[in-house]
C-alpha cells in the first residue's frame, strides 16, 4: 500500500507552490483582511481558474481536467500554505462534489462546466444554530417546491452564484425527510446578511429564504446520508489544507528562532523552544500520515474512507491549531502584533477546524465508525 504521490503529482505540487508564491503573497492576504468590501481576491480566483484547478477533479465531459482526487489533495495543501483568500473549498470541495455525486445529468451539464471554468461559485448551506448540525435540528423546509428558513453561518454565501441547501421535504421535520435543494442567488426571496468571522479572508453570512424556488438534488429523504458522504470526502481535502498551513507555521517559528538572539545566543538553542518545535513537528507528521491515508481511501473509493477521513480531520485540526498557537508563542511579544503574520495562520486554523464540523464532532464520528468495524 503506497501512500506517496507520483512524480507527476509532485511536479504539480511544485508548480502550484511556485504559482501561489508569485500570485498570493502575504500582502494580498492582508489586503483582503483589511478591506471589508472585498470578500475574496477576484484576480487570484480568475488566475486559479485559468490554471484549471477549479476543474481538477471534474470529468472532461463537463469541462474539467478529468484528473483525480489525489491531484486535488496536492492543490489543497498548497492553498493552505499560501492562505489563499478564495472560495475554492466551498465551490470545489463541497458544491462540485455534491453535483458530481448526486446531481442529475441535466444538473451536471448545467452547473459543472461553469464551476470548472470559475464562472460560477457554489457553496453549501447546512447550519441553522450555533450547535452541532444534526438532521433533528434542521428547521428549513420545502413545500410545493418553495424553500423557507434560515441558514447561518454559510461560508462564501454572499459571493455564491448557486447554493445547495439542506431542508426538510414537505414541512416534515424528521430524519427521513431531509433532502438537498439547489437555489440560485438571484431569487427575489433570498436575502443575505454579513457575519463577522475570526478570519475575514474566508467570509460567512446568514441566508434567509422566503418561498424561494428550490430544485431537488438526488433522492428525496436521503439528504443526511449524502451530506455524510460528501463531508467525508471534503474532510480529507481540508486536512491537506490544514497540514499545509501547519507546516508553514513550523517553518516560520524555526526561522525566527534562528534569527532572534537573547542572552548572546539564538533562542532556538534553548531547550524549551526545541521541545515546542519538536511537538509541532510530531503533530504535523502524524496529521500528514493520516491525510495520506485519507487520500488513498478517497482516491480508491475504499470503504475505509469514513475512518480515514475522521482520523485525518481530527489530527490535522489538532496539528494546525497547536502549531499556529506555538508559532505565536515562539515569536514572543511581537507574535501578537498585527505587523507579524502569525495571526494570519491562527485565524485560518480556527476557521478550518470548524467549517465542516468541530473537532469534537469528528472525534465522535471516528469512534462510531471504529465501533462499526469492531475495532474499539
Q: Which pLDDT value is given to residue 171?
A: 56
CA 80 to chain centre: 9
Q: Which residues contact 55 (CB under 8 A, 6 or more apart)?
A: 63, 64, 65, 115, 116, 117
CATH architecture assignment, domain 7-88+107-116: Orthogonal Bundle (1.10)
- pLDDT tens for the chain, 376 residues long, are 567 899 999 999 999 999 999 999 999 999 999 998 899 999 999 999 999 999 999 999 999 999 999 999 999 999 999 999 999 999 999 999 999 999 999 999 999 999 999 999 999 999 997 777 888 889 999 999 999 999 999 999 999 999 999 999 875 555 468 999 999 999 999 999 999 999 999 999 999 999 999 999 999 999 999 999 999 999 999 999 999 999 999 999 999 999 988 888 998 889 999 999 999 999 999 999 999 999 999 999 999 999 999 999 999 999 999 999 999 999 999 999 999 999 999 999 999 999 899 999 999 999 999 988 765 4
Do 55 and 64 form a contact (C-beta atoms < 8 A)?
Answer: yes
DSSP 88-145: HIIIIIIIIHHHHHH--HHHHHHHHHHHHHTSS-EEEE---SSS---GGG---EEETT
The three-class DSSP label of residue 47 is helix
> What distance in Å separates the CA atoms of residue 283 and residue 226, rounded to the nearest whole number?
31
Distance of CA 294 to the CA centre of its chain: 15
From 2.40.110.10, 2.60.40.10, 3.30.365.10, 3.40.50.2000, which CATH number describes the 123-221 domain? 2.40.110.10
Name residue 304's beta-bridge partners.
Answer: none
Q: How far apart, in whole angstroms, are the C-alpha atoms of residue 80 and residue 320?
A: 10
Prediction pTM value: 0.95
- Ordered by start, the domain boundaries in the chain are 7-88+107-116, 123-221, 224-372
Query: In the numeric block, which cell numbers belong to residue 31?
Result: 489586503
Q: Which fold has domain 224-372?
A: Butyryl-CoA Dehydrogenase, subunit A; domain 3 (1.20.140)
In this structure, the strands spanning 215-217 and 178-184 are: antiparallel
Question: Do the bridges between strand 261-262 and strand 178-184 make them parallel or antiparallel, or are there none, so unpaired?
Answer: unpaired
Kind of pairing between the strands at 265-266 and 190-195: unpaired
Instruction: Please tell me the distance from the alpha carbon of residue 177 to that of residue 311, in angstroms, as a whole number.
Output: 29
Peptide bond into 48 cis (omega under 30): no
Report d(CA 282, CA 298) in Å as an integer. 24
The C-alpha cell 494570519 sits at 344
Amino acid at each position: 500500500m503506497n501512500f506517496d504521490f507520483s512524480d507527476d503529482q509532485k511536479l504539480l505540487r511544485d508548480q502550484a507552490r511556485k504559482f501561489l508564491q508569485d500570485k498570493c503573497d502575504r500582502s494580498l492576504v492582508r489586503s483582503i483582511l483589511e478591506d471589508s468590501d472585498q470578500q475574496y481576491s477576484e484576480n487570484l480566483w480568475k488566475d486559479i481558474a485559468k490554471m484549471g484547478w477549479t476543474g481538477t477533479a471534474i470529468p472532461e465531459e463537463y469541462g474539467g481536467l478529468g484528473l483525480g482526487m489525489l491531484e486535488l489533495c496536492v492543490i489543497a495543501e498548497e492553498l493552505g500554505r499560501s492562505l489563499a483568500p478564495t472560495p475554492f473549498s466551498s465551490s470545489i470541495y463541497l458544491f462540485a462534489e455534491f453535483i458530481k455525486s448526486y446531481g442529475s445529468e441535466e444538473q451536471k451539464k448545467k452547473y459543472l462546466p461553469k464551476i470548472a471554468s470559475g464562472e460560477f461559485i457554489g457553496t453549501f448551506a447546512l447550519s441553522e444554530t450555533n450547535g452541532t448540525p444534526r438532521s433533528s435540528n434542521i428547521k428549513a423546509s420545502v413545500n410545493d417546491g418553495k424553500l423557507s428558513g434560515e441558514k447561518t453561518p454559510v461560508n462564501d454565501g454572499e459571493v455564491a452564484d448557486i447554493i445547495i441547501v439542506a431542508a426538510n421535504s414537505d414541512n416534515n421535520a424528521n430524519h427521513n425527510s431531509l433532502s438537498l435543494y439547489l437555489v440560485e442567488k438571484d431569487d427575489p426571496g433570498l436575502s443575505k446578511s454579513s457575519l463577522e468571522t475570526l478570519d475575514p479572508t474566508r467570509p460567512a453570512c446568514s441566508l434567509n429564504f422566503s418561498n424561494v424556488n428550490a430544485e431537488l438534488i438526488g433522492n428525496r429523504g436521503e439528504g443526511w446520508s449524502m451530506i455524510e458522504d460528501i463531508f467525508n470526502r471534503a474532510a480529507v481535502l481540508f486536512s491537506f489544507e490544514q497540514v499545509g498551513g501547519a507546516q508553514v507555521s513550523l517553518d516560520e517559528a524555526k526561522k525566527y528562532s534562528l534569527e532572534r538572539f537573547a542572552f548572546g545566543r539564538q533562542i532556538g538553542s534553548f531547550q524549551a523552544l526545541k521541545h515546542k518545535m519538536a511537538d509541532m513537528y510530531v503533530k504535523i507528521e502524524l496529521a500528514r500520515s493520516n491525510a495520506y491515508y485519507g487520500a488513498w481511501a478517497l482516491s480508491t473509493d475504499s470503504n475505509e474512507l469514513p475512518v480515514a477521513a475522521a482520523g485525518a480531520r481530527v489530527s490535522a485540526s489538532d496539528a494546525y491549531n497547536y502549531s499556529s498557537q506555538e508559532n505565536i508563542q515562539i515569536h514572543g511579544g511581537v507574535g501578537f502584533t498585527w505587523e507579524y503574520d502569525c495571526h494570519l495562520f491562527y485565524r485560518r486554523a480556527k476557521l478550518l477546524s470548524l467549517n465542516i464540523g468541530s473537532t469534537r464532532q469528528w472525534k465522535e464520528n471516528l469512534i462510531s465508525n471504529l465501533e462499526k468495524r469492531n475495532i474499539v
